[in-house]
């Protein structure tokens, strides 16, 4: 198993641990035992149950974004480890490197932009080693299957997955609900109100299956040095 899938499976274990707890609360209606001299059974508030269900979207989105970010960072690390120059990069990564080197900046004077372009040309002529900055990855709360496919085309790895993943369609729901919560457009109780455990479990399984297959594609791309010209 490659590094990407190993890291991914570690994160999945955290998700599964949370869902095991969520099942106890939502399906089996577990109570808490409070011990303060004498054991006392305490029920879990219904609104808290809604919050716990909604929180699953935050965990799932974090799994998706961190895993895809790791995959792209792994590509960048492989480019650096292979000590590639501009001439050695595939066309898609050349474009990304150029964009990283000359980032549009409305506050920058035109002569400063010209200097950046000259530095870029000099770097290519001198066959300097390529480094790609993971901090500039175009990922910020916007990852769904459409974005993954865009990234796959941009970097040159496959976005094909089996039918059981349904093309990662569930990622749109995960992203939307995560953003609703993160931006205050929904309260946690509102988000979790009509969710069932089975709905969440299905979303979790499909998201995991889709991301795992994308990571396999990236690992194959790295193993065959798909980033090379």
Calculate what percentage of the chain has a pLDDT beyond 70.
94
Local structure of residue 25 (DSSP, 8 states):
H
**Predicted structure pTM score:** 0.88
Closest alpha carbon to 137 in 65, 58, 222: 65
Confirm whether 165 is domain-assigned. yes
Confirm whether 153 is domain-assigned. yes
Residue 127's pLDDT band, with cuts at 50, 70 and 90, is confident
21 or 107, higher pLDDT: 21
Confirm whether 99 is domain-assigned. no
- Convert the pLDDT of each residue in 13-68 to its tens digit: 999 999 999 999 999 888 888 777 677 788 888 999 999 999 999 999 999 999 99
Closest alpha carbon to 207 in 180, 159, 172, 158: 172
What pLDDT is recorded for position 114? 66
- Convert the pLDDT of each residue in 180-205 to its tens digit: 999 999 999 999 999 999 999 999 99
Residue 111's pLDDT band, with cuts at 50, 70 and 90, is low
Q: Are 116 and 187 in contact (CB under 8 A)?
A: no
Write out the two tokens for 132.
Answer: 């790609």
Termini Cα distance of the chain: 26
Distance from the Cα of residue 196 to its chain's centroid: 24
What pLDDT is recorded for position 112? 64
Confirm whether 132 is domain-assigned. no
Closest alpha carbon to 58 in 182, 162, 199: 182
Q: Are 14 and 28 in contact (CB under 8 A)?
A: no
What pLDDT is recorded for position 84? 94
Confirm whether 166 is domain-assigned. yes
Domain range spanning residue 10? 3-82+138-223
Q: Is the pLDDT of residue 144 over 90?
A: yes
Domain total of the chain: 1
Confirm whether 105 is domain-assigned. no
Confirm whether 147 is domain-assigned. yes
Confirm whether 20 is domain-assigned. yes
What pLDDT is recorded for position 124? 84
């Amino acid at each position: 198993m490659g590094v990407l899938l190993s890291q991914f499976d570690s994160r999945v274990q955290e998700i599964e641990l949370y869902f095991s707890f969520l099942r106890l609360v939502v399906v089996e209606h577990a109570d808490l035992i409070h011990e303060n001299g004498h054991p006392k059974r305490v029920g879990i508030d219904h609104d808290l149950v809604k919050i716990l269900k909604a929180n699953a979207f935050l965990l799932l989105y974090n799994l998706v974004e961190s895993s895809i970010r790791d995959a792209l960072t792994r590509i960048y690390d492989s480019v650096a480890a292979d000590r590639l120059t501009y001439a050695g990069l595939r066309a898609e990564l050349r474009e990304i490197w150029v964009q990283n080197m000359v980032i549009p900046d409305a506050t920058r004077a035109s002569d400063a932009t010209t200097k950046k372009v000259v530095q870029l040309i000099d770097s290519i002529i001198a066959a300097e080693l390529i480094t790609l900055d993971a901090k500039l990855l175009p990922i910020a709360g916007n990852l769904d299957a459409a974005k993954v496919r865009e990234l796959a085309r941009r970097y040159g790895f496959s976005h094909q997955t089996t039918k059981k993943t349904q093309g990662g369609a569930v990622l749109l729901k995960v992203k939307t609900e995560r953003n609703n919560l993160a931006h205050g457009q929904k309260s946690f109780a509102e988000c979790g109100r009509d969710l069932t455990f089975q709905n969440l479990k299905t979303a979790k399984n499909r998201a995991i299956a889709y991301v795992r297959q994308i990571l396999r594609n990236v690992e194959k791309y790295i193993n065959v040095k798909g980033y090379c010209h």
